[in-house]
């Protein structure tokens, strides 16, 4: 299973992750909302809207991958538990298209299961490719999807990510590692190390429950403290754990 995940990670390494703060807009290409769709525990599906603000038709392919995190990296794998319909759409200029994200079986037993929705823009020429021929993608978009379990619905007010951080060294490089010991995911934005050195502009990334993620430590940065906004709330200083 690990090899399957890693193979998909290599195939999808160039995914462009859309930040919620960016409004899910790639100028002149495609509008997507919501940027953080959720299938509630008592629902079978969630709606995803795709809008073409341009002057030419857009043909898009929608796929959904299982989302894992291993060794500090995002990894993806094929799955059949959640599907997007229709899987391929052509959107005329100035119009929008509804895509339904539907779970095919019972809801998850645990609090949440993460997925990635991948939307690829297919050039018109790609539609005429012969069977087996490779299709080139013009743009690729990736947004998170969470399927919630009954425990989430019952205990929603009390469920929060539980984050700790440390500095780790791997291959001669130093990283900031954030671990989530909670039951729900953490979306990190406005991350700052040492009180003044940003780790990234806007969205830093996600840390899934019971997983850890790593980001390169900027050269010369102080490691006295680490703060970030978690799931859109005011920035807080995270607890440091032993290295």
The CATH number for 181's domain is 2.60.40
Q: Are 238 and 178 in contact (CB under 8 A)?
A: yes
* DSSP assignment of 116-151: EEEEEEEPGGGGGPPTT-----SEEEEEEEEEEPHH
Phi, psi of 92, rounded to the nearest 5 degrees: -70, 155
- 154: pLDDT confidence band, cut at 50, 70 and 90? low
Give yes or no: residues 173 and 94 share one domain.
Answer: no
Q: Provide the token pair at 136.
A: 């080139």
> Are residues 95 and 20 part of one domain?
yes
Which residue segment(s) compose the domain that 140 sits in? 2-154
On whether both 111 and 94 belong to a single domain, the answer is yes
Do 149 and 198 fall within a single domain?
no
Which domain-ending residue is among 154, 174, 205? 154
- The CATH number for 71's domain is 2.60.40.10
How confident is the model over 36-74, as pLDDT tens digits? 999 998 899 999 999 999 999 999 999 999 999 999 999
pLDDT band, very low/low/confident/very high, at 12 (cuts 50, 70, 90): very low
Residue 176 has pLDDT above 80, yes or no: yes
Asked whether residue 198 carries a pLDDT value surpassing 70, the answer given is yes
Residue 151 pLDDT: 72
Tally of CA atoms within 13 A in the half-sphere of 219 that contains its CB: 1
Question: Which of the pair, 174 or 22, is modelled with greater confidence?
Answer: 174
- Cα–Cα separations (whole angstroms), residue 197 to 98, 125, 171: 41, 45, 23
Average confidence score pLDDT of the chain: 85
Percent of the chain residues past pLDDT 90, beyond the cut = 69
Is the pLDDT confidence value at 227 over 50?
yes
Closest CA to 238 of 224, 226, 222: 226
**What is the three-class DSSP state of 71?**
coil
Q: Are residue 22 and residue 112 in the same domain, yes or no?
A: yes
Q: Could you tell me if 186 and 36 are in contact, meaning their C-beta atoms sit under 8 angstroms apart?
A: no
| Cα–Cα nearest to 127, from 88, 100, 99, 92 | 88
Instruction: Report the number of distinct structural domains present in the chain.
Output: 2
136 and 205 in one domain? no
Q: State the average pLDDT over residues 118-135.
A: 68
Model confidence at 200, pLDDT cuts 50, 70, 90, reads confident
Mean pLDDT of 194-215: 95
């Amino acid at each position: 299973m690990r090899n399957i995940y890693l193979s998909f990670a290599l195939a999808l390494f160039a995914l462009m992750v859309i930040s919620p703060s960016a409004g899910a807009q790639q100028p002149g290409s495609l509008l997507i909302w919501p940027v953080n769709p959720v299938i509630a525990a008592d629902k079978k599906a969630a709606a995803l809207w795709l809008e073409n603000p341009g002057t030419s038709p857009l043909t898009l392919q929608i796929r959904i991958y299982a989302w894992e995190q291993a060794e500090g990296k995002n990894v993806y794998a094929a799955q059949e538990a959640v599907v997007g319909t229709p899987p391929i759409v052509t959107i005329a200029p100035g119009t929008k298209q509804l895509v339904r994200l539907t779970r095919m079986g019972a809801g998850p037993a645990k609090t949440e299961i993460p997925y990635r929705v991948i939307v690829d823009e297919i050039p018109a020429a790609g539609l005429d490719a012969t069977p087996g021929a490779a299709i080139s993608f013009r743009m690729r978009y990736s947004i998170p999807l969470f399927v919630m379990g009954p425990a989430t619905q019952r205990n929603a007010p009390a469920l929060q990510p539980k984050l700790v951080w440390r500095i780790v060294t791997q291959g001669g490089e130093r990283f900031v590692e954030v671990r989530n010991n909670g039951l729900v995911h953490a979306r990190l934005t406005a991350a700052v190390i040492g009180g003044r050195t940003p780790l990234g502009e806007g969205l830093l990334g996600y840390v899934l429950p019971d997983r850890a993620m790593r980001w390169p430590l900027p050269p010369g940065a102080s490691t006295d403290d680490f703060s970030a906004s978690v799931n859109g709330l005011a920035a807080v200083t995270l607890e440091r754990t032993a290295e």
